[in-house]
Amino acid sequence: MSDRDLWLVATAAEVLGAHARDSSLLPVSSAERDSLLRMVRSGVALLRSKEHAHRVRDRSGLIVSTISYFDGDYADNPDYLFAGDTSAVFPDYTRPQPVRSVGWDISHAYRLPVVIRSLLANRVATSSSYPSQREAKGLARHYAFVAFEGDSNEPLFRNYLDGSDGWFRVGYAGRTGSGYPPSRLCDAHNSHRPCLTSGGVQGWGELAPFDTTIRQIEHSLVALAARRDSASQFFRDRYYYYDGTPFSFVDRAGREQYPILLLSILASTASDYAKRHSGGN
């Protein structure tokens, strides 16, 4: 299953949900509805078959259950062949170091929380019992305790959802000498050593209602963007600079700004912030 397949499944679920809520606003013929339902059912069946259960330690050391998807499916894909190479030295093309159970790279994996949330939100329209809150919570915890490195002051994410932190896309598309290095060795300003961070922080706020650890990570990212000290500025400029814009509430001249990467995080946590400021739980 590819990331494009996931988008199609989520889109089908959203269209069915919108039609069920107001068929005059979004009319769908019987044939179209049947086609969309088949797409959702096929996607759900494949997702269910690709679910992997894990037992990992949370930040307090307790053993908790987590869930991931597609472990090992891309182990032999050229993009993933150096997932086990955590060296700062650029990999030797002739000596791949694959990880047999490697998860999706963190940049593409953000499709998962979006799809899980879309399927959950439209279960009545799709007549599907999967996924449930169990899967949403399990995936959220996997991201928080396996992919996230754990430092709320300087939040970073390992390159792969299974916790592997080796190189990704070495020599991708014929770009000799380029690749995504282990998370702490990347530089958002270096086209030969770029970061996967931007993909790692998008989408996951969709699972915040199912586990508080996601909220904590999202809040730490917002706090990072708000800080003015030089160490924080250096850190976020190296790892979170994206689309020509610093990851900050102010630009270099001190003017208020809302870069797209920060907006994507704020959008997914807006309801949580609204509850906090209104005195809600």
Instruction: Identify the band that residue 273 occupies on the pLDDT scale cut at 50, 70 and 90.
Output: low
- Provide the residue ranges of all domains of the chain, joining segments of one domain with +: 51-278
What are 93's two structure tokens? 């093309």
Instruction: Identify the band that residue 106 occupies on the pLDDT scale cut at 50, 70 and 90.
Output: very high
Cβ(44)–Cβ(16) below 8 Å: no
| CA dihedral sign of residues 21, 23, 25, 28 | positive
Question: Residue 99 half-sphere exposure, CB side, CA atoms within 13 Å?
Answer: 23
Q: CA-to-CA distance for 205 and 140, rounded, in angstroms? A: 9
pLDDT in tens, 209-234: 999 999 999 999 999 999 999 999 99
pLDDT in tens, 85-97: 999 999 999 999 9
Q: Would the pTM of this model clear 0.85, i.e. be above it? A: yes
Predicted pLDDT at 272: 61
